[in-house]
Amino acid sequence: MADPDLRKAASELLVRYGGDAFPTLFVSAKGATVKDDEGREILDFTSGQMCATIGHNHPAIVAAIKQSADTGVHMFSGMIPESVPRPPKKLPEWLPRPLKKSLFVNTGSESNEAALKMAKFATGGWEVLALGGSWHGVTGGAGSVSFASDRRGTGPKPAGVHVIPEPNAYRCPVDHCRDKCDMTCLRVGMRLFDMQSSGAPAAIIAEPVISAGGVLVPPEGYFNELRKACDARGMLLIFDEAQTAFGRLGVKFAADKLGVVPDIMSVSKTLGGGVPLAATITSDEIEEKAFKAGFSFYTSHVSDPLPAAVGLAVLETIEREHLLERAIEMGNYLRSQLEALQQRYEVIGDVRGDGLLLGVELVKDREKREPNHKLGAITTQRCYELGLSMNIRRRPERGSVWRIAPPLTVTKDELDRGVAILDQSLRDGLDQVARA
């Protein structure tokens, strides 16, 4: 039974922080489902906002938390608990060389703050480029290079921050391509940066899949060109793999699939399995340069023992349960089901993504590709009413995109149930729009 006093407290005492707000409170989570205070079981096709990579409350995560409760939850930041070096000992089996050294912090925003600061110290520069549609966090530096959402009300951006157009062949930001990106957006973007640069380049930060910007998968060769652009200007390449690392694309890191090694990699969501854990990873050479230049990132919760123990449990579970292979199998199956929906509904303009990170773009007309924001809002709400939680990415000047990312442990039955709800939500949504 729902507790009206708790609901009242949530309504009156909690700051509203944007994004989706659900009408109920939630009492438990397990695998691919969450349960609310009305007893409803709801499929979670966001994986807890991408964090519950191996499913909510996986037994391995619970065991790691219990062990940490017995040995140590938090320590002074200068004290390195035994649990903290264990993930770095495991990570070399996963990481592309020469990436090796890790800084463990709490959130993706923090890991990107550290990455940007490290790049500035290592290069001596301060100019940073990001891609349109990017999302790197909400803190000062990470938020300044995030372009997926409304930036009004935050004041002037820090000096040195630049944006280049994102590679979106479905909605080309420079009105050049249609369905096949030829990277004109990158060439134009770099020329514009060169015109504006004050001669202090530091880094380009990019997501291998531009998730919040509409689940955009850059074309083959894009990151090779981005790598060349960095090298030509003495800049470091930062990959923000918050949503793509540790199996979501069916590989250990997106960098493996791209064949491009960044200078710095930030990881978060998919590493912590639901516990706040993120890391900034780099090479010996860059760590040494940054250290000698005075790099510091001394926070209250750097190198905490509990999240580090959980991170190791996540890595071991992905290996033990063969979740890389499962992400490919389930991702291919889910994509085929979504493409079958596309054949039945003209309002589905595009199905895209990789592994278990997929996007479905809703349009009013397939030829003109006008975004169907109204249908996106209606269907997302209807999905929740029918027992499915998933995310809609709406940008006024771009598209209305369902972002679908179930846990790597999701079953075919759960995928079938989720797709059936998506189907029903489209039918009901189209009827509602027609009646309006």
Quote the pLDDT of residue 349.
Answer: 97
Extract the tokens encoding 40.
Answer: 């409803």
Quote the pLDDT of residue 392.
Answer: 86
Average pLDDT over residues 101-121: 97
Quote the pLDDT of residue 23.
Answer: 87
Domains and CATH numbers, the chain: 4-54+322-435 (3.90.1150.10), 60-320 (3.40.640.10)
Q: Which amino acid is at 268?
A: S
Over the stretch 206-229, which tens digit does the pLDDT of each residue have?
999 999 999 999 999 999 999 999
Over the stretch 247-280, which tens digit does the pLDDT of each residue have?
999 999 999 999 999 999 999 999 999 999 999 9
Give 161-172 as a DSSP string.
Answer: EEEE----STT-
- Cα–Cα distance between 260 and 239 in angstroms, integer? 10
Average pLDDT over residues 132-153: 91
Q: Which of 283, 198, 224, 235 is nearest to 119 (CA)?
A: 235
Burial of 429 (0-12, 13-18, 19+ CB in 10 A): buried
Point out the residues that are catalytic. 135, 207, 240, 243, 269, 403
Over the stretch 279-318, which tens digit does the pLDDT of each residue have?
999 999 999 999 999 999 999 999 999 999 999 999 999 9
What mean pLDDT, rounded, does the chain reach? Answer: 95
Residue 436 has pLDDT above 90, yes or no: no
- Cα–Cα distance between 293 and 302 in angstroms, integer? 20
Q: Distance of CA 87 to CAs 81, 229, 255, 308, 320, Å?
A: 12, 32, 19, 7, 16
Q: Could you tell me which residues are beta bridge partners of residue 278? A: 105
Quote the pLDDT of residue 155.
Answer: 82
Percent of all residues in the chain with a pLDDT value above 90, rounded to a whole number: 92
Over the stretch 8-49, which tens digit does the pLDDT of each residue have?
999 999 998 887 778 899 999 999 999 999 999 999 999 999
Q: Could you tell me which residues are beta bridge partners of residue 354? A: 357
- Cα–Cα distance between 204 and 160 in angstroms, integer? 12
Residue 395 binned pLDDT confidence (cut-offs 50, 70, 90): low
Over the stretch 354-375, which tens digit does the pLDDT of each residue have?
999 999 999 999 999 999 999 9
Q: Distance of CA 127 to CAs 52, 161, 343, Å?
A: 34, 6, 45
Average pLDDT over residues 334-359: 98
